[in-house]
Structure 1
């Protein structure tokens, strides 16, 4: 099921609450100041009137702070609208296969995939899938070819036992023609099932796995 949702982290909620409290306090202080100022003006002595320069400076200071608070509220509104726009713009990705720069492997309906590069310095790759506590479930050696290729995992461990759908960790090490260690750049492939805004971060959901939207490399719309 594809979903588009928005959630706010605890820290973000606290910041919003503090900002609202600060604004409420400022508004109350500003109203109190105006009340006192008006009372002073009404009851000032004709022989000793209030210093107009001092009064003007105080008014300017309070007005400046009030404008800053108003500007911050407008900025918060613009940021919220931008994030909502990001969710809407990303909605067409739902149901598509997305390439992501991550080591988190999403097993959905008993299948998961990663993308391996073409052979370069590394001629062979060793793929390892681990569970959430770091225990190795499955390993496989793959010969790299002249072009990039997709490696698939059927969700079974080395003993042939099917694992539950969920999030697993994948790592890939490589070796060159002489058997020496070589770096292999890989990415995971996952079906986008949802989008979620968590505070200021936009996340892509693939089953129970969550990816930072900034880590998305490409989208395959030919499903």
Structure 2
């Protein structure tokens, strides 16, 4: 399956706009100070302390512009490095934290923990409107395991690839509800730098890079 890596310019555009406003304020400040010096009275020149304070402000604004520009460059370099580092993940199977399961080539996978206070897991796959499409009760073993979804709904109809809502409820020995953490698995198909950080595409599922829990061997 082909993958993609792309970057957005939202962060850079925001920083550039901020720098433009700051540079405008800087130029206005410089114009006002120059005009003040040109029009001061020879018999009553600008007070030395006032002059010093204004020059300090002048230097402070100039330094802030320089700092913002350097920070913008550092952020751009960091984002480029993250995007480059994510390239080897394309085509790899990963386990991620998400409330959706990617259905890729008619296959989806929900990763479940080992049995504890919960002896069973009730897995529910829903569409975007919250309508349950498939429900399955899975017995938990002594080790973590995965439940593979064949991409069919409760009537046996084959669904199109995409990202589907998934919820998991643990069930104790007597059927009582128990909180149960879970993850989903899929193949990375792309990466994109967004304003809130690096995002991986796992089929139709977009998930933050910080949600990746581990790499999985090929199925």
Extract structure 1 runs of 4+ deviating beyond 6 A: none
- For the pair 1:211 / 2:207, whether they are aligned, the reply is yes
Q: Which of these residues, 50, 55, 74, is aligned with residue 59 of structure 1?
A: 55
Question: Residue in 2 aligned with 1:2?
Answer: 3
With over 3 angstroms needed to count, the CA separation of the structure-2 counterparts of 1:49 and 1:180, relative to structure 1, is closer
RMSD of the TM alignment (CA)? 2.1
For normalisation by structure 2, the TM-score amounts to: 0.90
Question: Residue in 1 aligned with 2:178?
Answer: 182
Q: Per the alignment, in what secondary structure is the counterpart of residue 174 of structure 2?
A: coil
Q: Per the alignment, in what secondary structure is the counterpart of residue 162 of structure 1?
A: coil
Matched positions, count: 218
The superposition leaves residues 36-78 of structure 1 with CA deviations (integer Å, 9 ceiling, x where unpaired) of 256348xx63x54443332222111111122112212211221
Q: Per the alignment, in what secondary structure is the counterpart of residue 91 of structure 1?
A: helix
For normalisation by structure 1, the TM-score amounts to: 0.88
Q: Per the alignment, in what secondary structure is the counterpart of residue 99 of structure 1?
A: strand
How far does residue 208 in structure 1 lie from its aligned partner after superposition?
1.9
Alignment of 1:31-46 (within 5 A): 31-33=30-32, 35-36=34-35, 39-40=38-39, 45=42
How far does residue 13 in structure 1 lie from its aligned partner after superposition?
6.9
Question: Residue in 1 aligned with 2:169?
Answer: 173
Question: Residue in 1 aligned with 2:71?
Answer: 75
2-structure distance, mates of 1:82, 1:13: 12
Q: Per the alignment, in what secondary structure is the counterpart of residue 58 of structure 2?
A: helix
1-structure distance, mates of 2:173, 2:136: 18
Q: Per the alignment, in what secondary structure is the counterpart of residue 106 of structure 2?
A: coil
8 Å contact kept, 1:97–1:189 = yes
8 Å contact kept, 1:129–1:136 = yes
